[in-house]
């Protein structure tokens, strides 16, 4: 086996689009890869110092959308361009934006699924950022991405993951098994 030094190579990493409002109510979005489920009804996201963290200091509510093959270019754009320096950042994405029904944050309607969230805790807060723990208030899913059982169909969404090794985006593939079930074959 080849050995590598320590790197941020936990795989897969979701491509999360964080939506906030600034103090004037102007929507903003950023791309965050270092996040995941924290508890049954909570998520954690590692945030550096961004317009998003400034917005969250004023309003502790936000949305999290999952990037897709269709939203990839604009999703990457909101990760490389700061809302602090580019006033027309959101217009350039071409996304359809509206207010979330349960939190004071924007929803980007171009994404299949969005979490409505509220800040619960900030860990190790400093000038360079913090770890954000947030309560999932509600989950919204476009009906065209629902499976026959009425729940979100991840395969239909064409979600992306971030490959931190090669700095690429990879589209999630097909279902290959059943969790909490297939392992019973070994019993």
Contact 99, 140 (CB under 8 A): no
Kindly state the average pLDDT of the residues 155-179. Answer: 95
Q: Does position 97 have pLDDT exceeding 90, yes or no? A: yes
Q: Which tokens is 93 given?
A: 């994405």
**Mean pLDDT in the chain?**
96
Q: Does position 123 have pLDDT exceeding 90, yes or no? A: yes
pLDDT band at residue 161 under the 50/70/90 scheme? very high
123 in the Ramachandran plot: left (φ > 0), alpha (ψ -120 to 50) or beta? beta
The rounded distance, in Å, linking the Cα atoms of 26 and 17 is 16
Give the model's pLDDT for residue 132: 97
Helix (H, G, I), strand (E, B) or coil at 185: helix
Give the model's pLDDT for residue 119: 98
pLDDT band at residue 23 under the 50/70/90 scheme? very high
**Best CA proximity match to 13, nearest among 33, 29, 30:** 33
Give the model's pLDDT for residue 33: 85
Contact 169, 15 (CB under 8 A): yes
Give the model's pLDDT for residue 79: 95
Domains of the chain: 13-184 (2.30.110.10)
| Model pLDDT for residues 46-90, shown as the tens digit of each residue | 999 999 999 999 999 999 999 999 999 999 999 999 988 998 999
pLDDT band at residue 187 under the 50/70/90 scheme? confident
User: Strands 35-39, 27-32: parallel, antiparallel or unpaired by DSSP?
Assistant: unpaired
């Amino acid at each position: 086996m080849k050995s590598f030094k320590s790197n941020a190579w936990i795989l897969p990493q979701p491509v999360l689009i964080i939506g906030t409002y600034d103090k004037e109510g102007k929507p903003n979005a950023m791309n965050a890869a270092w996040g995941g489920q924290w508890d049954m009804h909570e998520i954690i996201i590692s945030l550096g110092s961004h317009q998003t963290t400034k917005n969250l200091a004023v309003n502790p509510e936000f949305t999290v959308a999952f990037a897709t093959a269709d939203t990839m270019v604009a999703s990457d754009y909101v990760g490389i361009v700061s809302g602090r320096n580019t006033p027309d950042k959101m217009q350039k994405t071409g996304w359809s934006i509206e207010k979330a029904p349960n939190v004071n944050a924007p929803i980007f309607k171009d994404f299949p699924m969005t979490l409505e969230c509220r800040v619960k805790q900030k860990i190790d807060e400093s000038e360079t950022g913090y770890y954000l723990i947030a309560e999932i208030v509600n989950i919204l899913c476009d009906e065209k991405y629902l499976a026959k059982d009425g729940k979100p169909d991840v395969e239909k969404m064409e979600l992306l993951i971030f490959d931190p090794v090669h700095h690429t985006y990879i589209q999630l593939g097909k279902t290959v098994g059943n969790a909490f079930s297939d392992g019973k074959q070994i019993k």
